[in-house]
A and B are shown apart, each in its own frame.
With several copies, the nearest count.
Chain A
């Protein structure tokens, strides 16, 4: 686990960003399409750890747990790697059982209720 020193604050790992370009839910599956060890060796610890662990297809939540990173940091790191094609986000599992947009609308509505 790249548990960084406690004085390394999470905002510095993402440059303060909390939003992602891609839609990433906790159960969104990601994987490394072709693993490149030289590329991995040049990454910062969190990106590297995530890149290594995503050789096996995993959900965002799983990666967060196995890499020991908060969900917020994990989402941004996944998003950044995906933007360079180093990581693939699997969209195909949506629309099969649930339409995630419908689920989200339901969730948002319920949040307003709750």
Chain B
């Protein structure tokens, strides 16, 4: 209950900062304000930004208020069916928040993120996944143990959100999209988003990259609907000195990359976000003797934990955020998003080819019980999909880069 009430208090702070700024307080503003505006469409188009901002702020205020109550009911809910509905409500609210924030970005307003804090790159990836429609298709690959400094964290999350959204929309509904983060030689971090789509038309690719680089493209027919997300990315990239680009991989699929400069990165303080390394020493190390047969193993592992090499391992397994193996679609729209179902998730969470040497390979994968009863995926759970090979090939350039630590701004 402690952590959840703490989180709820944070929500309340956010809500308080976001209380509808357009609310006229009775005490200070009776009905004697400025003369009324004309119907805007009859007037200069320059009214639109102000109108948009009002709507964005009002919607954000409601979305933040909702978040606080959602968190409280999610924490207590024990019925799986009801919890699933609460998750879908949460998911819808998170997408609403994202859209309202993006509108603010397009208006050239800095989104006022209440309670900013350093965010680990793993959480950047998962926060970005939280706000897209097809989140069960996202898998988190190798992600270095660094954080994004507080003043840039939410913007980096927004950039990654739109790239993940783009990647999931423009790739087969049954395919995964892999997000990873590597340190480069100059101490930046390269975020990679890899999809299994057919790739971008080469002509268009140049135009998109020009836009993402902040160069105004040739005046072309504009479809704000098709690439609104990338327009948001372009804004935020310019504001935060991120280098964003799209490339077609020779083996198929598209890779989006974000180069986050070292000035926006920082060490992750273990106590703040990384539980075990900090809290474990306070745990009693004496093994509990139930079940007694495992005693020896626990002794051994306690010794291993004491080794700094193990606790500070910079490598993170390729771990699926997981496909949804149960009936029904999260968010109501992910019609074909789950393919491998449970077996794939289980397999990937212990995926041997991405794990450091010494990881025990689980013995009973085939025997892992199905749950939900209707996974019905298309891809074989035993064969790695093609894009995984491409992924493995694609990451080799960054994999050997030294871990450049401590790039505090």
Contact = CB atoms under 8 A, between A and B. Distances in A.
Q: Within 8 Å by CB, do A and B touch in the complex?
A: yes
A17 B324 contact: yes
B245 interface: no
A36 B301 contact: yes
B76 to A, nearest CB: 8
B43 interface: no
A67 B111 CA distance: 31
Contact of A15 (B3, B122, B291, B322): B322
A68 B302 CA distance: 22
Contacts of B88: 11
Interface string B279-311: 110011001101101101110111011010011
Nearest to B355: A42
Interface string A15-36: 1111111100010010111111
B319 A16 contact: no
A15 B323 contact: yes
A94 B88 CA distance: 34
* Size category of the binding interface on chain A: 35 or more
Contacts of B37: none
Contacts of A114: 78
Interface string A45-78: 1011100110111000000010111111000000
Interface in B70-84: 74-78, 80-81, 83-84
Nearest to B319: A44
A43 B349 contact: yes
A3 B317 CA distance: 20
B369 A8 contact: no
A101 interface: no
Contacts of A15: 135-136, 320-325, 330, 345
A41 B342 CA distance: 22
Interface in B327-375: 330, 342, 345-346, 349-350, 355-360, 362-365, 368-372
A56 B288 contact: yes
Given A37-B310, A39-B359, A39-B360, A11 B349 contact: no
5 contacts: A18-B80, A18-B83, A21-B371, A38-B304, A52-B276
Interface of A: 1-22, 26, 29, 31-45, 47-49, 52-53, 55-57, 65, 67-72, 79-80, 83-86, 88, 90, 114
Q: Give 5 closest A-B pairs by Cβ, nearest first.
A: A35-B301, A34-B297, A15-B322, A68-B3, A37-B304
